[in-house]
Each structure stands twice: as C-alpha cells, then as structure tokens.
Amino acid sequence: MLKCLNNKSGFTLIEMIIYVALVGIISAVLFSVTFFVIRTNNKIIALSKVSSNAHSVMERMTYEMANSKYIYLPTSNFVNYNYDLSKGNQLSLATEIGVSSNENIAFIDFYVENDTLFLKEDGLDPIALTSSGVLVSKMEFSYYKNDLRESVTIDMTIHAKNSAISDSKTHLVNTAALRSF
C-alpha cells in the first residue's frame, strides 16, 4: 500500500498552472490574430465595394454627359453657378438617346437622396446607382462653359455604410465635357 502513495507519475499543481497559463497565452494570441485578420478582410472588402461603386458611378455619369445634347440649367444645381442650397445637388442633362416617338429630347437627372445617388430618366422610376452598402457623403457639381463647350466637374466622396469600417472611403473628381454643344 505504501508503494501506491509514493507513485510520482502524475502532475504537480505547479505543472498544471504552467500548462493552463501556456494554453491561455496561446489562445489569446490566436484570438487576437484571428480578430485582426477578420477585421482587415472586412476593411478590404468594404474599400473594394466603395471603390467599385465610385468608379462605376463616375463612369456612368461621364458617359451620360458626353452623350448629352446640353445641360438643362433650370433644374441643375451647381456649387459655382446659381447654387440653391434648398435644392440639393442635381445635374440635369438633355439627351436625344432613348427619346419617345413623340418627343425630340429626353431628360436625365443625377441627384443624391438619403446618401444614395440616383439616376432619373424621363418616364421611368429613379434607379439607385450606388449599392446599399455605401453612402454618398459628398456630391458636388460645378458648371463651366466657354464658346465651344459646356462641361461639368463632379466632386464625389463615397464611404462604407458600416460605421466599424467607416475609414473605407473614396474621393473622386472628374470633369466631363459635352460632345454635342
């Protein structure tokens, strides 16, 4: 019976405390690394979504401006030309593309409502150009005209909707001239 009590094949209390501490430290490091990787991945996805939205919106607006007949000034609102803060920023274009059979001209409007950029074509419901995961925090149009052309500068900032990754934003500035002035 004495032989059983003196058996030293088990763990001591100090060894158990050291093992538990090591497992805790390794778990904390793994948790931190995993959290960092997930957060970085979410930032990359958000920045990609923001950048993709900003570039596709800018490309669409530039395309519509380049193919428009003229800028419709009565409903457009430019920061450097007859700016009316109550109207918000809006760009109205007159085009011959997509005109109904009994009309000569159609109108296209770009405007921001509830942090979403919309495209409104004559006779159609507005279409959201930005996705639900992004917000348009700045959209300003500036109007320029010389003897030969009308042009518009678009100053736009789009950022991620999720406040945890709000530092994911894109700021673009582009100037487009109408071809058919």
Joined together, the tokens standing for residue 35 give 């959290």
Percent of the chain's residues with pLDDT above 90: 44
pTM of the model: 0.77
Joined together, the tokens standing for residue 170 give 């894109």
Q: Is the pLDDT of residue 2 over 70?
A: no
Mind listing the pLDDT tens digit for each residue in 39-62? 888 888 888 888 899 999 999 999
Q: What is the mean pLDDT of residues 16-36?
A: 95
H/E segment holding residue 136 = strand 134-145
Q: Is the pLDDT of residue 75 over 60?
A: yes
pLDDT band, residue 99 (cuts 50/70/90): confident
Whose CA is closest to 53, among 138, 169, 173? Answer: 169
Instruction: With H, G, I as helix, E, B as strand and everything else as coil, classify residue 128.
Output: strand
pLDDT for the residue numbered 98: 73
Identity of the residue numbered 75: T
pLDDT for the residue numbered 96: 84
Residue 177 CA to residue 181 CA, distance in Å, equals 9
pLDDT band, residue 102 (cuts 50/70/90): confident
Q: What is the mean pLDDT of residues 31-37?
A: 95
Q: Is the pLDDT of residue 3 over 70?
A: no
Query: Angle CA(165)–CA(52)–CA(131) in degrees, nearest 5?
Result: 70
Strand partners, 140: 155
Q: Is the pLDDT of residue 1 over 80?
A: no
Q: What is the mean pLDDT of residues 10-30?
A: 92
Residue 111 CA to residue 89 CA, distance in Å, equals 6
Which of 25-29, 39-43, 136-140 is predicted most confidently? 25-29
Average pLDDT score over the chain = 86
Q: Is the pLDDT of residue 133 over 50?
A: yes
Q: Is the pLDDT of residue 86 over 80?
A: no
Joined together, the tokens standing for residue 101 give 């059979």
Q: What is the mean pLDDT of residues 18-25?
A: 95
